[in-house]
């Protein structure tokens, strides 16, 4: 018995259960109940099994931590449950959001299952190369969903065109297949962050740790968590309050770069200023370039962080309006700080030269 995307969604959403069971001719076999998670097994008319995994708590951040703690008793119980039916007969699995991610993870580790999950966060970092080769589960995401933007996906999520009304986040054709849509901006931002090279990603992690500390979050916790998970725990309001502290940190970096420049250039001017002119100009230019590069990278990182925070805020319209205003103020403030730092650089060089030749 094959299921359409729409039928998988009817099972995963969890309402009108008895009606769905009757229409699809499914007989309930067993229900696993754990704290925060439920899984139900059904026997279909052809003797195969369908598993539905549901996360039952409202705390999404807690759910993500539970998902990524793969050594937990919760994972062990669900793994045994899924394996039991996967070994008996053809087995399919479905679920939505965090429940779907739990199902996707264990289907990948065990292998041999097919199915569709909806709006599941990425689990790619939890899987081995062997696990990745065994995945036959599709992850369908709505254009308004936040969770698919979290984590790394083993394969890209399939975005669906929105349906009509809040109760129908997906649009299906007459055959019950999803109608393809476009990835949302939040998903694109997180994909860009996850695709950074190692140096840029480490720089971004450092920025997240600094931001978490400035926002009152334990920096050691931010160190241990996935970047996306830490970002998910940061509210736009706390980020806005933390930005001035981070801009002040830019000033400290500029001051340190100015100190290093002075220690390099001052001896050259005292030793033989006329012969060392080219070296002084070269080192001054390099110092100004490093300041500008730091400011550019800082602004790029903060724009990405602000975009993610604004897009996942409860009121997206208000969040995006705030984002535009904050980004403009941040750019202006950074420009002012950079101008002040480079002015100090040229002023100090003039002082050195006047002291040497004046």
For residue 314, the model assigns a pLDDT of 43
Tell me how far CA of residue 330 lies from CA of 93, 108, 133, 213, 250, in angstroms: 46, 43, 44, 19, 12
Per residue in 189-248, pLDDT (tens digit) is 777 777 777 788 788 778 877 777 777 766 555 555 556 566 666 666 777 777 788 888
When pLDDT is cut at 50, 70 and 90, the band that residue 178 belongs to is very high
pLDDT the model gives residue 113: 92
Strands 27-34, 37-43: pairing is antiparallel
pTM of the model: 0.68
Give the pLDDT confidence score for residue 103 in this predicted structure: 96
- At 109 the pLDDT is 92
Question: Tell me, what's the pLDDT at 71?
Answer: 94
**Residue 233, pLDDT score:** 64
pLDDT > 90 in the chain, percent: 32
Other CB atoms closer than 10 Å to residue 245's CB: what's the count? Answer: 13
pLDDT number for residue 315:
46
Q: Are 64 and 98 in contact (CB under 8 A)?
A: yes
Write down the pLDDT at residue 316.
47
| 8 A C-beta contact, residue 341 and residue 335 | no
Please, what is the end-to-end C-alpha distance for the chain in angstroms?
A: 92
Per-domain residue ranges of the chain: 5-183, 192-357
Per-residue pLDDT, 324: 62
pLDDT value, residue 232 = 61
Higher-pLDDT residue of 84, 189: 84
Which is higher by pLDDT, 311 or 152? 152
């Amino acid at each position: 018995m094959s299921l359409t995307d729409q039928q998988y969604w009817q099972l995963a959403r969890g309402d009108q259960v008895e009606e769905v069971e009757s229409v699809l001719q499914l007989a309930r076999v067993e229900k696993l109940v754990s704290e925060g998670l439920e899984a139900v097994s059904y026997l279909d008319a052809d003797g195969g099994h369908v598993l539905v995994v549901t996360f039952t708590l409202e705390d999404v951040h807690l759910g993500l931590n539970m998902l990524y703690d793969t050594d937990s008793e919760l994972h062990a119980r669900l793994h045994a449950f899924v394996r039991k039916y996967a070994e008996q007969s053809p087995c399919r699995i479905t679920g939505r959001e965090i429940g779907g991610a739990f199902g996707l993870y264990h289907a990948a580790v065990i292998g041999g299952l097919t199915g569709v999950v909806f709006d599941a966060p990425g689990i790619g970092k939890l899987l081995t190369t062997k696990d990745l080769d065994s995945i036959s589960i599709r992850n369908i995401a709505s254009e308004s969903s936040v969770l698919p933007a979290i984590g790394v996906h083993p394969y890209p999520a399939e975005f669906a065109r929105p349906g009509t009304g809040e109760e129908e986040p997906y649009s299906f054709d007459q055959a019950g297949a999803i109608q393809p849509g476009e990835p949302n901006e939040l998903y694109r931002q997180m994909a860009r962050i996850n695709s950074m090279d190692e140096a840029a990603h480490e720089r971004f992690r450092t920025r997240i740790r600094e931001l978490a500390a400035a926002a009152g979050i334990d920096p050691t916790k931010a160190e241990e968590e996935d970047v996306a998970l830490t970002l998910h725990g940061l509210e736009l309001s706390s980020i806005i309050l933390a930005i001035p502290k981070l801009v002040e940190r830019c000033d400290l970096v500029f001051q340190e770069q100015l100190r290093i420049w002075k220690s390099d250039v001052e001896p050259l001017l005292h030793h033989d200023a006329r012969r060392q002119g080219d070296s002084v100009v070269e080192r001054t230019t390099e110092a100004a370039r490093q300041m500008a590069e730091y400011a550019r990278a800082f602004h790029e990182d903060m724009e990405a962080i602000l975009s993610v925070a604004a897009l996942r805020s409860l009121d997206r319209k208000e969040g995006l309006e705030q984002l535009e205003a904050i980004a403009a103020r941040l750019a202006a403030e950074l420009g002012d700080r950079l101008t002040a730092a480079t002015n100090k650089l040229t002023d100090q060089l003039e002082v050195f030269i006047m002291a040497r030749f004046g």
